[in-house]
Amino acid sequence: MVRKRSLLQLVRNQWIMWVMLVPGVISLILFSYLPMFGIIVAFQKYDIAKGFFSSPFVGLDNFTRFLHDPMIQNVIRNTLGLSSIKLIVSFPIPIVFALLLNEVRIRPYKRVVQTISYLPHFVSWVIVIGIFKKMLSAEDGVINLLIETLGGERINFAVSSWFMWPLAIGSDIWKETGWSAIIYLAALTAIAPELYEAATVDGAGRWKQMLHITLPGIKSTIIILLILAIPSIVGSNVEQMWVLGSLPVRDVTEVIDTYVLRTGLGSMQYSVAAAAGLVKTVISVILLVTVNTFAKRIGEQGVY
């Protein structure tokens, strides 16, 4: 009874906050939980005309078709390879950028740099890849003009499979570094200024202050974001890879997400696409739980 009364009292005292939660909860139910019912498609020979309830149940047949697809080896290789390299290369860069920006003492300059750095996040991937492809154009691209000026021969980057992964990684870094650094910059503001003052009195320079105060101060934030990033190894940026994936280079740009789109919407094999998406989701959840459990066992803070 005491708990019920205290809960009712809490709701009564903070009813405005509870009302503000309602749109978010409804949105979560409509767009995150209800669509999970569509998982049933992965176990059916789905027919749009028959719908969920009348389409025949085929068990794990769609998963077998997905795993025996001739393209699946390339798809898995591209997904794991590209996502792993992105994680290794792209994850530390926002941390380094935030640390460097935190050391800037001229505030107007710091604000300008921070604003410019996160603006690319709001540009669509179609425009970003279009800019990069224009710069690398074999006809009038600035990179090829530079190569030709230096005495080299023009390179047709658009059909060069070996160049697609560096382009994907480079464009991702350019677009998302500034935006990702915002979280670390916010975490840096929570570090007490007295720690830096005490370190200065003790004779510690900028480098030692960064090493022994700044990095430990944002350690928990780095670990939480790393835990959330590791499950993305089995995923990829679908918008980016879809725009990059022209026919001549599709052997290195086709990942699970684009495979799902191409199989489901392109070939109308909805059940196989659903099976592929479900496999990816299950592996992502397993990775998240595993990494989170490991982080807790070594004494770090997890995401739950």
- Per-residue pLDDT band for 4 (boundaries 50, 70, 90) equals low
Per the CB < 8 A criterion, the answer to whether 288 and 229 are in contact is no
Query: Scanning the structure block, which residue is given the tokens 């926002």?
Result: 94
Per the CB < 8 A criterion, the answer to whether 112 and 118 are in contact is no
Residue 46: the pLDDT is 87
Instruction: Give the number of other Cβ atoms within 10 Å of residue 98's Cβ.
Output: 25
> Residue 76 region, left (φ>0) first, then alpha (ψ -120 to 50), else beta?
alpha
Checking if the pLDDT of 303 tops 80, the result is no
196 burial level (CB within 10 Å; 0-12, 13-18, 19+): middle
Residue 173: the pLDDT is 92
- Per-residue pLDDT band for 3 (boundaries 50, 70, 90) equals low
Question: 3-11: long-range contacts at Cβ-Cβ below 8 A with a sequence spacing of 24 or more?
Answer: none
Residue 97: the pLDDT is 93
- Per-residue pLDDT band for 61 (boundaries 50, 70, 90) equals very high
Sign of the CA dihedral 223, 225, 227, 229?
negative
CA–CA gap between residue 212 and residue 204 (Å, rounded): 10
CA–CA gap between residue 240 and residue 131 (Å, rounded): 13
Q: What would the mean pLDDT of 4-15 be, rounded to a whole number? A: 75
CA–CA gap between residue 241 and residue 260 (Å, rounded): 12
Nearest to 176 by CA among 76, 95, 251, 280: 95
CB-hemisphere CA count at 13 Å for 189? 5
DSSP 44: B
Calculate the CA dihedral of residues 78, 31, 183, 130 and round it to 10 degrees.
50
Span 88-125, pLDDT tens digits? 999 999 999 999 998 888 888 888 998 899 899 999 99
Please give the full DSSP string across 167-230, using - where no structure is assigned.
HHHHHHHHHHHHHHHHHHHHHHTTS-HHHHHHHHHTT--HHHHIIIIIHHHTHHHHHHHHHHHG
Q: Distance from CA of residue 163 to its chain's centroid?
A: 21
SS3 76: helix
> Under 8 Å CB-to-CB from 6, ≥6 apart: which residues?
none
The domain spans of the chain are: 44-297
Residue 199: the pLDDT is 87
Q: Is domain 44-297 annotated with CATH 1.10.8.80?
A: no
pTM of the predicted model as reported, rounded to 2 decimal places: 0.83
SS3 272: helix
Span 146-205, pLDDT tens digits? 888 888 888 888 788 888 899 899 999 999 999 999 999 999 988 888 888 888 888 888
Return the higher-pLDDT residue of 129 and 12: 129
Q: What would the mean pLDDT of 8-27 be, rounded to a whole number? A: 85
